[in-house]
């Protein structure tokens, strides 16, 4: 694949090495005369996909405490994004606790309303476009910007049973209970599974590939538990810094519906059963 000239021109690349970089993009380590950099690109990107990723990284980098690292965006275009390189290592004693503390501090930063950054009305979870338009409350946002559009698309395109629409209608009167006690919006990562957390050679935590927006912070915590990979020390440390409301564990299946629906749309398969089992259990 031809690399985006607007991103690599002038770098003085010595060597280009393909690396792992996600399910929807191609990634490379570029060894340059000034050191290594990371390039992610896509042959047919959605409009503004990389620009929105860059905006999320910059917002997180500005808001995150010193103990939680976000890679610097060096350049971005419609076809890709260029970032600082992270030398990956292994967790050391304290890595998980520092992650929990740093994420809790990030979630305390004030945000204006529920929705996209700086008026963005569109975001991307993987290759799936999602609605980031502001809403007057978090329950309204989660229902009308996340669950209902994703369920409609999954029914129409990916084999999700029509019963899912009925089950969502049954749950709608309980939105306040399902979403938990009202909280001010937080700046969240938005796609915080274990693959989007890196640990560098010194044991420090980095967050990558965000779908950053202003949301209820429990959505990040629920995503962290969907596929595992985060130690108990992470959640214990989070609770010490920024305690979660009572019953947050019981709300995890509700908040996992959105990422599971995205997986239904992209992959289908067993994710259909995972969505339906949660909807039935919640009802």
3-class DSSP string for 54-102? HHHHHHHHHHCCCCEECCCEEEEECCEEEEECCCECCCCCCHHHHHHHH
Q: Cα Rg for the chain, rounded, in angstroms? A: 19
Is the distance from CB of 96 to CB of 234 less than 8 angstroms? yes
Q: Which of 179, 100, 177, 118 is nearest to 147 (CA)?
A: 179
Is the distance from CB of 27 to CB of 39 less than 8 angstroms? yes
What is the C-alpha to C-alpha distance for residues 151 and 252, in angstroms, rounded to an integer?
Answer: 18
How many other β-carbons are positioned within 10 Å of the β-carbon of residue 235? Answer: 22
3-state SS assignment for residue 126: coil
- The residue from 191, 200, 220, 246 that is catalytic is 191
Phi then psi for residue 80, to 5 deg, are 175, 180
Our answer to whether residue 273 is catalytic in this structure is: no
What is the C-alpha to C-alpha distance for residues 68 and 35, in angstroms, rounded to an integer?
Answer: 23
List residues with catalytic annotation: 191
């Amino acid at each position: 694949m031809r690399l985006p000239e607007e991103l690599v021109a002038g770098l003085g690349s010595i060597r280009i090495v393909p690396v792992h970089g996600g399910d929807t993009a191609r990634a490379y380590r570029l060894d340059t005369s000034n050191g290594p950099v990371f390039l992610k690109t896509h042959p047919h990107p959605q409009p503004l996909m990389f620009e929105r990723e860059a905006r999320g990284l910059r917002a997180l980098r500005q808001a995150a405490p010193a103990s939680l690292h976000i890679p610097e965006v060096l350049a971005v275009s419609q076809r890709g994004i260029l970032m600082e390189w992270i030398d990956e290592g292994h967790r050391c004693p304290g890595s998980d606790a520092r992650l929990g503390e740093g994420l809790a501090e990030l979630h305390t930063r004030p945000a204006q309303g529920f929705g996209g950054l700086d008026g963005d009305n569109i975001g991307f979870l993987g290759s799936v476009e999602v609605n980031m338009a502001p809403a007057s409350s978090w329950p309204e946002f989660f229902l009308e910007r996340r669950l209902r559009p994703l369920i409609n698309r999954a029914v129409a395109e990916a084999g999700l049973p029509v019963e899912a629409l009925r089950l969502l209608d049954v749950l709608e009167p309980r939105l306040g209970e399902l979403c938990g006690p009202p909280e001010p919006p937080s700046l969240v990562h938005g796609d915080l599974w274990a693959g989007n957390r890196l640990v560098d050679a010194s044991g420090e935590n980095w967050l990558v590939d965000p779908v950053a927006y202003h949301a209820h912070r429990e959505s990040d915590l629920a995503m962290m538990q969907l596929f595992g990979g985060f130690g108990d020390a992470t959640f214990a440390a989070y609770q010490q810094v920024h305690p979660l409301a009572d019953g947050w564990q019981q709300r995890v299946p509700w908040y996992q519906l959105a990422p599971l629906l995205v997986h239904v749309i992209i992959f289908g398969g067993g994710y259909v059963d995972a969505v339906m089992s949660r909807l039935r259990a919640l009802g």
